[in-house]
Every structure is written in structure tokens, then in C-alpha cells.
Amino acid sequence: MLLLDSGFVYYCSPTCKAEHVRAGDVDVARTLDAGAGGGGEIGELRRGTPASEPRGPALAEGSGRADERALGLSGIEDSERPRSRGTGEPRARLLVGASIAGLIGLGTALTASQGTWAAMVSALASSVVVVETARRTAAQRAHVGWLAWLLTLFGAPLLAVSGLLAIAAGHDGRAALAAAAIAALAQLLAAVLERRSVAPVDDAIARLLSPLPRRVRVPGDLAADGVSMTTAQIDADRVRSGEEVLVIAGEVVPVDGVVRTGEARVSLHASAAEPSRRAQGDPILAGARVVEGALRVRATRAGAERALVRVARFGEGDAPDAAPLARLAHAVTRYGAISLFAASIGAVIAFAPMGANGALEVAAAMLLAAPLTSFRRATEGPIVAGACAAGLRGIVFHDPRALERAARATVFALGSRGTITSGRPEVVETVELDGRVVELLPLAMAAESAAEAHPIALGVLRFGESLRLSPESVRRAVFVPGRGVTALAPGGETFVVGNRQLLLDEGVSVALADDEAKKAESRGRTVVFVGLGGSVKAILLLEDTVRPGARAAVQRLIDMRIESVLLAGGSRGTTEALGRELDIDHVKADMTPDERGAEVRRLRETGGVVAFAGRPGRDDAALAAADVPIVLGAAGGPAGERAIALATEDLRDAAASLWIARAARETARRTAAVVAALLTLGVLLPIVVHILAPGVPTYLLAPFVGLAAFAFGSPAGARLLRRIDLRIPIR
């Protein structure tokens, strides 16, 4: 155990850790009180919290089926759950035993002769292998249906029956018996390989979900003093949307929500390089870790509806919001199984005149070469892997359809202020024309107070405060979105603070300031004109720094051949200078928020799929008009209920979300196409060969075709994870 500035750090077992926490009687009240600024609604935790329940970081510990429901894991079959070493050893022994049985079946088949008991031993040994395969793949029944699962297992027994019938009829059935043993071993190998192939995706999901606490702290009643507050610890699955939870330093936020009270430094997602500040009104995503301070969070989504928990269900093809490929996989496994069953029955009937054992061999070859479950793995694996890799990077897809739409994006539109730039412009220079800035600034500060906390207005206010000036009184201040503010000065004169277009609309000539303004705009500065009494008196020059990584984000879009369009409210000169800096050729300037929304709709009408990256509130019109709205810094909150929400405001994550979506879709489509070709070949080849060359034993090749489908389809998700890690490393 170590004592750091942030508190105790434990390196012992959970039980030991809980004992230390109880024995030390950690004063979490002090941490909460400090995080809330010394009081407020979070208040002070009373010592009445039950001592038997762990506090602080120990809340993340826990077990039981109720806790699994909180993580959305209650639907996982026992055969898919991680096993301890003690429970894994019997499984290993069963695998070895089944493999030995298969080899015995193969050996006895090669020595079997007409009328010998070796044929029966071979068939029985092959059946033992099939039973072990069925046990290992039993969890697939819920996903693919009973019929598709059974058809995958039925090929080897049919071959064994065919061999027995041949021997009973006085023919040589050793080839069919040997093929049955080989097929059974191939199916067992496919089951083992499949489990290992999907393990990387399962591990990624575990990394995403394991930090989520299974016990949460909720506020209780106020004490008699009206300040202190009791708390209770409950199962995470009991929390509902709209309820509140408390999170202190060292704990993980258990719900998607909005900070109601408190202030803290928070690691926003699993791969966050540095903690960020979160305070009242800020959204926060389940899985974020509080590094310092304390928060009271109102849940917007809880339990299985949390954004990161939904990721594990992205591969479900029967969900209302399923991706098109997942729906196709669902149809293939559910309804294709009926077709395959009917085709195999039809083959038995059609080829029965040529011999019962021959007809069974054709049907068995079809079933062995067309394992329908491999098609589902080929499609669902990349979809789940892509959503999971995005979640580890603080990127949340609202649903599988949103991921599929993002993969088809051809145009990426974005605003400038607060998206490409920091959104905190500062006055760096003033130019006096027909008036003194120190006399005009108090009026400008008063007028800008009507601008609804616009970044430029805040920049002007900060500049005036730095000069120790106080706002003067103005009347009838009116904020014009995307333009500026108009008001009446104390003398009744019209006072205008804004861009060139606003002054022209108000009848104020800007010719006197135009040369200076154009020079400043060519350097990427924002020009704010100050007009009084029908003439321009001064201009304020502001600079807004470009966000780190904005250039890298645009370069990724260029590499993906996605057209970038800059929609800005600044002047053309300023916008074009910013576009040149970032290699964005298509720019639109002097646009109001509503005009940006109209431009996004126009881009959609040209036939492209338009993604727009912006901030909630300021860019709502454009976000609502986009096919793929990407909301910066809104994951967890109500504003994040869009196609894509980011935990951060990093534009690189916006570009990465499109790359991940496209990579997931391409991988799923390519893998599904190859597996579909193998399945088609597996169904048609035995029929065609049996018609053209009745004596050719196609059933010897069939198990390897089915194994190839599993070997290529099952690792699709793991391949995508490796590709994402190489192209978009976790920062």
C-alpha cells in the first residue's frame, strides 16, 4: 500500500484492500467536500455509511449475476465465460480425449472390412468427437438458431451412417468411415480455432467493460444540520435514468450522464493521455475515472443502455437498429438453414436410386462444406471489433446503423471556431480610426454581454478586463447570430460591434477600415469592427489558435479521399487563410448557424453522404442536417445522442471515427464475400460432381472447405483490431 497525493494505492487482493479501507476509516467526506468547493449539494458524507461495504476505489470490486446484468453480460452462455485454471483443466482433458477418439475412429475405419465390428467402433468414436464439438459450440444456438447449429454438426454422423450402410450391403465403406472421422476432427478443430480467433475481440470488450463499477454510491437523506448527507451503495443495475450517483477520486463513473454538482479532473476514456476538467453541466461517459475531486452525476443512460455496454450487442442481426450486413448474416443463418436442410433432403431423395449410401454422402458433403455459423462470425466480428476499438478511444457510435452510415461518408464538413480552433479567441491588436479604443471598449463590453457567451464576445470582455475597464450602460442590445451585436449608446447613437456584413446591414461604411482589415484577415486573424453614429471608429483583431491535431485530422481525411469543407462564420479572408493552413480547398465564409445547416443540406442533395463535426448548441442546425453528425465533447450527455459522439473535442478522433467505421465495413464485406463463396462452392460442388462423376468421393474434400470458411471468417474481428492499432494507435 502506498500513500500518494491523490490518496491510498493498494497492490494487494480485493479482500485485503477492503479490510485496509475499513480499518483506516477513509474520510471520503473530505474528498467530496473539497471537490464540491467546500459544501453544496454533494455535502459531507456521514460516518453512518455501513462499515461492511468498501469505499473509494474498492467500489469497483464485486461479483455475482446481478453485477453482470449491470454490464449487459447476463446473456453470455456459461460456455463462453472466462474460466479459471481449475475449470479449464477438465475442458482440456475432454478435448484431448475427443481428439484421441477421433484418431481411433480414423484408424479403425482404415482397418474395417465387410461385416467387422471395427466399423461400429469407428462410427462410435467419431460420434464422441461430434458430441464434444456440440458441447463446445452450444452457445451458438441462441445466436444462429437450433437448425443452423445442428446442420453444422450433422455432416460427420451422416457419413458414418453411409459407411455402415455400405458395409451392411457388402460394399467397401472404409472411405466414408474415415471421412466421418476426419470431418469430426475438422469440426472440433474449427470450434477450437473459432474460440481462439474471437478471443481478441472478447478481450477488447472486457477492457472496455471491466472498469465499470458493479457497486455504485448514491446520495441519501440530508442530516439534521441540512448540510451533511448519508449515502448508500447499491448494485449498478438498480440505477435508472434520471437518478444521481456520487463519484470521488479514484472511482469510475458508473453511468452515462451530466455533472450536476462538483468539479473534478477526469480521465475521460480508457486511453485518455491526460485528465480533463469536468464541472456542472458537462457530459461524462461511463468508464471515465475521476483522478481528483468529486462529482454528483445525473444519469442519462444506465445499465445495459450505457454507450460502452451497447457495443457488445452491435453484431446482433435481429435488433431494430442492426447494420445491413448483420441483418444479412441473420437471414443467412436463420433462413439459409432451412434452405440447406431442404437441399440436403432433396439430394437424398434425388440420388436415392443411385444408392442410399451415395445419397447420404452427397447430403453429408453439403452440410460439412457449408457451416452457416461461419458467415455470422465473418460479419459480426468486424462490426463489434470496430465499435469496441472506437470506444476504447472515446468514440461512441450511437448504434450499428450509425457505424454503417459513417463508413459511407464522402464529405466531411466542419465549422471553424471551437472545432478547428480552440474556440477561445483573444484580442491581439487594436487599430484606432476615428476614436479611442479605451473609450469604445466599455460600450463594446456592455453590448457583447447580449451575445449569449459567444467566444468573440468573451474575448472582447477579457481584453477589456485586462485593461481594467468596466462596461458602460447601453440600451436595446440585440445579438445577431453569426454577425455581432447592435445597441444604442448612452447618447442615443447607433452602436455596432461585429463583422463587415453587420455594419453594412446597419448602413455603416467600412471603407476607412477595409485595407487594415484585409491585411489582418490574410494572416488568419478575426476582425471585429466597432461603429458608432454611422461610421467605423476602430477595429479589434483577434487570434484563435488552431487545435493540436487538426492538420493530422484533415490529412487522414485526404488519405481516405473524403472531401473536406470548411463552413465558417468568419470573413472570407480569415477563412481562406485557415483553409490554406490545413489544406482545405473548399471553404464557405460569413455564414450564420442557420446558413451552415442549409449548406449541409445542399451538400447532401449533391448525392454524397455528409458528415459534420461540431459542438452542441452552436452547431445544432448543421448537426441536424448531416447524415453523420459528429458531436465533439458530448459523449454521455443528451447532446451525444447523435450518430457519433466523442468524449473529447479532438478533431483527430472525429476523423478516426470515419476511418474505423470504413475499415469495419470493408473488412466485414470482404470477409463475408469470401465465406459466402466458400459456402456456395460447398453446396454446389457435391451435387455437380456426383452427377458428372458419381464415383468421385467429394465428401473427402468437404470438411476442409468448411474448415477454410471458419479459418477465414472467425478471425475477421481480430484482424481488424490489429489493423486499427497499427493505423490509429491509442494515444
pLDDT, one tens digit per residue, over 32-63 is: 333 333 333 333 333 333 333 333 333 333 33
Does residue 719 or residue 453 have the better pLDDT?
719
The pLDDT mean for the chain works out to: 79
Q: To 10 degrees, what angle do helices 356-369 and 651-692 make?
A: 170
Least confident window among 159-173, 410-424, 491-505: 159-173
Cα distance between residue 433 and residue 535, in whole Å = 10
Q: Sort 681 into a burial class: Cβ within 10 Å, 0-12 / 13-18 / 19+.
A: middle
Q: At CA 181, angle to CA 177 and CA 185, rounded to 5?
A: 165
**pLDDT value at 141 more than 80:** no
**pLDDT value at 114 more than 60:** no
**pLDDT value at 68 more than 60:** no
Name the residue with cell 453482470: 68
Does residue 195 or residue 29 have the better pLDDT?
195
Q: Do residues 319 and 313 lie in contact, with contact meaning Cβ atoms separated by under 8 Å? A: yes
Cα distance between residue 93 and residue 523, in whole Å = 73
Amino acid at 530: V
583 φψ region: left (φ > 0), alpha (ψ -120 to 50), beta (else): left
DSSP state of 421: B
DSSP 3-state of 571: coil
Cα distances from 474 to residues 320, 440, 731, in angstroms, run 55, 12, 49
pTM summary value = 0.79
Does residue 20 or residue 163 have the better pLDDT?
163
pLDDT score, position 569: 84
Does residue 173 or residue 680 have the better pLDDT?
680
Does residue 598 or residue 640 have the better pLDDT?
598
Q: Do residues 105 and 161 lie in contact, with contact meaning Cβ atoms separated by under 8 Å? A: no
Contacts of 22 (CB under 8 A, 6+ apart): 51, 52, 54, 55
pLDDT score, position 80: 35
- Closest by Cα among 546, 550, 567 to 622: 567
Q: Are strands 610-614 and 426-432 parallel, antiparallel or unpaired?
A: unpaired
**pLDDT value at 90 more than 70:** no
Partners of residue 413 on adjacent β-strands: 565, 612
Mean pLDDT (whole number) for 300-327:
87
CA 23 to chain centre: 40
Cα distance between residue 578 and residue 588, in whole Å = 11
Contacts of 88 (CB under 8 A, 6+ apart): none
Amino acid at 721: L
Confidence of residue 418 (pLDDT cuts 50, 70, 90): confident
Cα distance between residue 122 and residue 40, in whole Å = 77
Confidence of residue 373 (pLDDT cuts 50, 70, 90): confident
Cα distance between residue 256 and residue 650, in whole Å = 20
Q: Are strands 244-248 and 289-301 parallel, antiparallel or unpaired?
A: antiparallel
DSSP state of 313: G
Cα distance between residue 611 and residue 285, in whole Å = 22
Q: Do residues 629 and 405 lie in contact, with contact meaning Cβ atoms separated by under 8 Å? A: no
pLDDT score, position 317: 80
Q: Do residues 517 and 527 lie in contact, with contact meaning Cβ atoms separated by under 8 Å? A: yes
In the sheet that holds 563-567, the strands lie side by side as: 395-397, 644-646, 628-631, 610-614, 411-414, 563-567, 586-588
Q: Sort 65 into a burial class: Cβ within 10 Å, 0-12 / 13-18 / 19+.
A: exposed
Q: Are strands 484-488 and 283-284 parallel, antiparallel or unpaired?
A: unpaired
Q: Computed over its alpha carbons, how large is the radius of gyration of the chain?
A: 33
Q: Do residues 237 and 94 lie in contact, with contact meaning Cβ atoms separated by under 8 Å? A: no
The grid cell for 472 is 458602460
Contacts of 69 (CB under 8 A, 6+ apart): 237, 303, 304
pLDDT score, position 134: 79
The grid cell for 118 is 471395427
- Each residue of 158-193: pLDDT tens digit? 877 777 777 777 777 777 777 777 888 888 888 888
pLDDT score, position 24: 38
**pLDDT value at 71 more than 50:** no
Partners of residue 2 on adjacent β-strands: 9
The grid cell for 91 is 475442458
Q: Do residues 303 and 323 lie in contact, with contact meaning Cβ atoms separated by under 8 Å? A: no
Q: Sort 249 into a burial class: Cβ within 10 Å, 0-12 / 13-18 / 19+.
A: buried
Contacts of 243 (CB under 8 A, 6+ apart): 218, 298, 299, 302
Does residue 20 or residue 405 have the better pLDDT?
405
**pLDDT value at 72 more than 60:** no
Would you mind telling me the total number of residues written for the chain in this entry? 731
Q: Which domains does the chain have, with CATH numbers?
A: 2-70+213-302 (2.70.150.10), 87-203+313-383+663-727 (no CATH), 394-415+547-658 (3.40.50.1000), 426-543 (3.40.1110.10)
Contacts of 677 (CB under 8 A, 6+ apart): none
Q: Do residues 181 and 122 lie in contact, with contact meaning Cβ atoms separated by under 8 Å? A: yes
Partners of residue 298 on adjacent β-strands: 244, 258
E strand residue ranges, 489-546: 494-498, 526-532, 535-543
DSSP 3-state of 719: helix
Mean pLDDT (whole number) for 404-415:
94
- Each residue of 226-274: pLDDT tens digit? 555 677 888 888 899 999 999 999 999 999 999 999 999 999 988 888 8
Cα distances from 638 to residues 81, 90, 209, 257, 283, in angstroms, run 34, 48, 21, 8, 8
Cα distance between residue 18 and residue 724, in whole Å = 38
Q: Give the count of beta carbons closer than 10 Å to the beta carbon of residue 614.
A: 27
pLDDT score, position 104: 62
Q: Do residues 45 and 55 lie in contact, with contact meaning Cβ atoms separated by under 8 Å? A: no
Backbone φ, ψ for residue 694 (5° rounding): -55, -25
pLDDT score, position 218: 87
Mean pLDDT (whole number) for 130-155:
78
**pLDDT value at 22 more than 50:** no
Confidence of residue 632 (pLDDT cuts 50, 70, 90): very high
**pLDDT value at 75 more than 80:** no
Q: Give the count of beta carbons closer than 10 Å to the beta carbon of residue 523.
A: 11
Cα distance between residue 377 and residue 387, in whole Å = 15
DSSP 3-state of 432: strand
